[in-house]
Amino acid sequence: MLLHSQIIGAGRPLVILHGFLGMGDNWRTLGNQFAKLGFQVHLVDARNHGRSFHSEYFSYPLMVSDLVHYCEHHKLEHIYLLGHSMGGKTAMFFAVKFPELVSKLIIADVSPKAYPKHHQIILKGLSSLDFATIKTRQAAENALSKYIKDPPTLQFLLKNVYWKSKDELALRIYLPALIKNIDEIGKALAVNTTYEGEVLFLKGENSTYIETEDKPLLKSHFPRSIIRTVSNAGHWLHSENSSEFYDYVAEFV
């Protein structure tokens, strides 16, 4: 099955992979900007996210396979690949396995290391949404706000709520598979895997996803990598300081 995407512009292929519980549409504003640089921008929805297909199976090797199939279908070669968080991990797994397909790699606020589970409250909140009784978006927001106190995170998650029919709300994400396979999200890149091409790591100044002690690990997997810090931004650095994020990416590509 083919991943859903929005394709903007024409030129060199730039594929953007969103983070966990996100969707390609979250990147549309930046995608339009990148298209003006002469890129054909592909805003891709991962399996079990956005408008892409649902599956009981969910892992980085599967998401890499999905992306290979996507590139083959669209005849994409030498892609510029940008991934945030889970999408960044997918991009890393993809680049070390299929380096010949990648021209340059941009990784937004995630390291090749393993991460402990930390989405439990979010998943509990999303699981609590009962659309048999929730009949408005405001009601969904009120219900989810009992679990999610951070307003930007709340609004980010609410993008997954959509009108399945004219009188029925639903979630775009396939929650059962994501909950069942939640341990997959934090998995580390395999030891002794490398990508020799150019890599830009972008770290949010207020984020702890990439730490100083991670630098040797980054270099061991990506010897030609550089790290830049996006100021006044946390894990959602591309939305919290989109202009500085854009400038770093534009300079790199």
Instruction: Report the catalytic residues.
Output: 85, 235
- Which SS3 state, helix, strand or coil, does residue 185 take? coil
Beta carbons within 8 Å of 221's beta carbon, 6+ residues apart: 92, 96, 112, 189, 193, 194, 195
Beta carbons within 8 Å of 54's beta carbon, 6+ residues apart: 47, 48, 174, 177
Task: Report the length, in residues, of the chain.
Answer: 253
Closest CA to 81 of 63, 94, 66: 94
The answer to whether 77 and 11 are in contact (CB under 8 A) is: no
Write out the two tokens for 79. 């892609």
Residue type (1 letter), 178: L
208 φ, ψ (degrees, to nearest 5): -110, 10
203 φ, ψ (degrees, to nearest 5): -115, 135
